[in-house]
């Protein structure tokens, strides 16, 4: 290089560099702030128990199936596949198949993917520079009329190639708040997916238990009807032999008809339950392939994991989803606040423009531009401030709805815990009632055969036995159903790490 000679670029850059550096530093400093409230996660309720009075360490037991005493294990976590605690292979297979086939699960998964893609599109479109390339060629004819030379006319070719870059500085955090809002939307859909998993598994368990209960009631009613039919045959022979009155035969016929009539609604309920199971598992009602559930296919869990009350708000998907909406509303306040402040946009372009393709990439054809724009709202008729106040009101609404969701969750758990305690006591009492009704019926039959009591007394003993038999099947099923209700009320056992993998936005494949 010749001494004392500087290229043109070396002469101009030093004079501009300090200003460009200062401008970039100022923009970076301004972009470090974000208007609007900084979201703070609500504190968990500091409760030491779910119910007003302390629960017993375990429920009472009772003889017979389903009468096992259940122990409340405070502070223990619910396993992920909590339905396996019922030790039913048929139930486990049904739920796993349903989770893979359910359209509700598929819809929730698609909604989560959609939210993730929207987040990525806004992240790339707002927080990163935009770079666009352009290549064009055209032929055009111009005349000199606009220049006062009507006799001039010329046709020419025009070729151009350029790259344009633009970037909007997030001076007051509007873009960051918008991305924060979209991330909250992704989290919300992730928790909705968790809720869909939990609701589907819980509904399948309760429906399977309901089917088993109905089958037990139908089987008991059919046995009672068969016994009543045998008794009717005996009475008819006695009547023909003159040993029984006509009214006794008619009363027994009425009793048998009433028992048989009670089978129709039970069978209808069973059919509807089977149809519900098919729909929950993603099958058509006529498709088949569902197992037939009976109460002896379930084992009552002897230990009930009960999470600490202060952790409930971190485990129930509906509470977490409500919190995501609260975070979304908080970010929207920041978005509305940032709209009141200036917006700085920088743009630059470099390319070439020539009359022939061979000249397009020559130094003489080079063109460039650099610009900056600053926009400040001055008067919008109160629109922007009203939007900010509306966002603040929406945040207050979301906060109140979050508190309501937490209260409802604690109510659900308290109801389920009390139900389990009362179910156990109810099953013990019902077992005793059924045992007494069975012994009374056997004694009444013997006394009636000896002529010690009238037929009406025998009929009354039959009715009591029938009622207690049906009630016993219902009481047994209630313990299984309310156990599943407790697991659902506590938020199920879907692990947080699984949720984070599901709720994470998809990886960005490219920047377009």
Q: What is the CA radius of gyration of the chain?
A: 38
* DSSP-H helix ranges across 298-382: 317-338
Residue 21 included in any domain: no
Take residue 380 and report the two structure tokens written for it: 């919008």
CA distance 208 to 475: 15
Residue 160 included in any domain: yes
* Max CA pair span of the chain: 143
Tell me, yes or no, whether 225 and 278 share the same domain: yes
- In the chain, pLDDT over 90 holds for what percent of residues? 43
Number of H helices, E strands in the chain: 10, 6
Q: Is the dihedral of CA 145, 151, 157, 159 positive or negative?
A: negative
Q: Please report the pLDDT score of residue 9 as a whole number.
A: 38
Q: Please report the pLDDT score of residue 495 as a whole number.
A: 52
Tell me, yes or no, whether 420 and 444 share the same domain: yes
Residue 46 included in any domain: yes
For 36-58, the pLDDT digits (tens) are: 888 898 888 888 888 888 888 88
Give the predicted TM-score (pTM) of the model: 0.82
Tell me, yes or no, whether 51 and 154 share the same domain: no
For 384-411, the pLDDT digits (tens) are: 899 899 999 999 999 999 999 999 999 9
Asked whether 402 and 42 are in contact (CB, 8 A), the reply is yes
Domain boundary among 375, 395, 429: 375
Q: Please report the pLDDT score of residue 75 as a whole number.
A: 81
Tell me, yes or no, whether 312 and 349 share the same domain: no
Residue 1 included in any domain: no
Residue 16 included in any domain: no
pLDDT at residue 496 greater than cutoff 80: no
Q: Please report the pLDDT score of residue 138 as a whole number.
A: 85
Residue with tokens 């290229």: 7
Range of the domain at 156: 135-169+344-375
pLDDT at residue 311 greater than cutoff 60: yes
For 128-149, the pLDDT digits (tens) are: 788 888 888 888 777 777 777 7
Tell me, yes or no, whether 350 and 440 share the same domain: no
Tell me, yes or no, whether 244 and 284 share the same domain: yes
For 220-251, the pLDDT digits (tens) are: 899 889 988 988 898 898 888 887 888 888 98
Q: Please report the pLDDT score of residue 494 as a whole number.
A: 60
pLDDT at residue 380 greater than cutoff 60: yes
Confidence of residue 310 (pLDDT cuts 50, 70, 90): confident
Asked whether 351 and 444 are in contact (CB, 8 A), the reply is no
Tell me, yes or no, whether 289 and 263 share the same domain: yes
Across the chain, what does the average pLDDT equal?
84
Tell me, yes or no, whether 323 and 237 share the same domain: yes
Residue 11 included in any domain: no
Asked whether 327 and 386 are in contact (CB, 8 A), the reply is no
Q: How far is CA 363 from the centre of its chain?
A: 61
Q: Please report the pLDDT score of residue 499 as a whole number.
A: 44
**Which residue did the predictor score with more confidence, 296 or 23?**
296
Tell me, yes or no, whether 353 and 286 share the same domain: no
CA distance 446 to 108: 63
pLDDT at residue 28 greater than cutoff 80: no
What value does the mean pLDDT take over residues 163-183? Answer: 87
Residue 447 included in any domain: yes
Tell me, yes or no, whether 422 and 328 share the same domain: yes
Residue 490 included in any domain: yes
Confidence of residue 511 (pLDDT cuts 50, 70, 90): very low
Tell me, yes or no, whether 118 and 264 share the same domain: yes
CATH of the domain at 250: 1.20.1600.10
Domain count for the chain: 2
pLDDT at residue 510 greater than cutoff 60: no
Phi, psi of 159, rounded to the nearest 5 degrees: -115, 140
Asked whether 293 and 94 are in contact (CB, 8 A), the reply is no
Select from 53, 3, 11, 33 the least CA-distant residue to 417: 53
CATH of the domain at 161: 2.20.200
Tell me, yes or no, whether 102 and 76 share the same domain: yes
């Amino acid at each position: 290089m010749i001494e004392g000679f500087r290229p043109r670029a070396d002469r101009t850059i030093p004079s501009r560099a300090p200003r460009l550096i200062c401008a970039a530093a100022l923009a970076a400093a301004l972009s470090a702030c974000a208007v609007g409230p900084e979201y703070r996660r609500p504190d968990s309720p500091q409760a030491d128990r779910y119910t007003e009075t302390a629960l017993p360490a375990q429920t009472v037991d009772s003889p017979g199936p389903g009468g096992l005493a259940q122990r409340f294990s405070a502070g223990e976590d619910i396993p992920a596949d909590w339905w396996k605690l019922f030790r039913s292979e048929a139930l486990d297979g049904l739920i796993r198949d349903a989770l893979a086939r359910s359209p509700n699960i598929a819809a929730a998964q698609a909604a989560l993917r959609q939210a993730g893609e929207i987040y990525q599109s806004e992240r790339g479109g707002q927080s990163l520079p935009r770079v666009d390339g352009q290549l064009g060629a055209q032929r055009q004819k111009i005349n000199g009329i606009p220049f006062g030379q009507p006799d001039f006319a010329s046709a020419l070719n025009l070729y151009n190639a350029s790259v344009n870059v633009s970037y909007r500085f997030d001076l007051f955090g509007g873009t960051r708040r918008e991305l924060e809002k979209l991330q909250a939307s992704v989290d919300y859909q992730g928790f909705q997916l968790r809720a869909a998993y939990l609701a589907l598994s819980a509904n399948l368990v309760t429906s399977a238990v309901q089917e088993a209960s109905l089958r037990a009631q139908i089987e008991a009613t059919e046995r009672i009807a068969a016994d009543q039919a045998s008794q009717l045959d005996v009475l008819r022979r006695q009547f023909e032999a003159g040993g029984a009155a006509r009214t006794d035969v008619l009363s027994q016929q009425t009793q048998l008809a009433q028992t048989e009539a009670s089978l129709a609604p039970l069978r209808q309920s069973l059919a509807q339950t089977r149809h519900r199971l098919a729909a929950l598992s993603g099958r058509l009602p006529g498709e088949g392939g569902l197992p037939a559930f009976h109460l002896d296919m379930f084992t009552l869990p002897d230990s009930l994991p009960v999470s600490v009350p202060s952790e409930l708000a971190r485990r129930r998907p509906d509470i977490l989803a409500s919190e995501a909406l609260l975070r979304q509303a908080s970010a929207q306040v920041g978005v509305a606040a940032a709209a009141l402040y200036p917006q700085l946009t920088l743009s630059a372009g470099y390319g070439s423009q020539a009359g022939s393709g061979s000249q397009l990439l020559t130094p003489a054809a080079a063109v460039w531009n650099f610009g900056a724009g600053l926009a400040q709202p001055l008067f919008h008729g109160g629109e922007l401030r009203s939007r900010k106040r509306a966002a603040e009101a929406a945040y207050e609404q979301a906060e109140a709805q979050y508190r309501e969701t937490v209260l409802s969750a604690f109510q659900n758990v308290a109801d389920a815990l009390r139900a389990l305690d009362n179910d156990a006591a109810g099953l013990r009492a019902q077992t005793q009632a059924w045992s007494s009704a069975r012994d009374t019926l056997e004694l009444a039959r013997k006394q009636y055969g000896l002529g010690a009591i009238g037929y009406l007394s025998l009929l009354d003993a039959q009715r009591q036995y029938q009622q207690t038999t049906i009630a016993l099947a219902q009481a047994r099923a209630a313990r299984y159903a309310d156990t599943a209700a407790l697991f659902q009320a506590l938020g199920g056992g879907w692990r947080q790490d699984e949720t984070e993998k599901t709720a994470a936005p998809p990886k960005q494949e490219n920047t377009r």
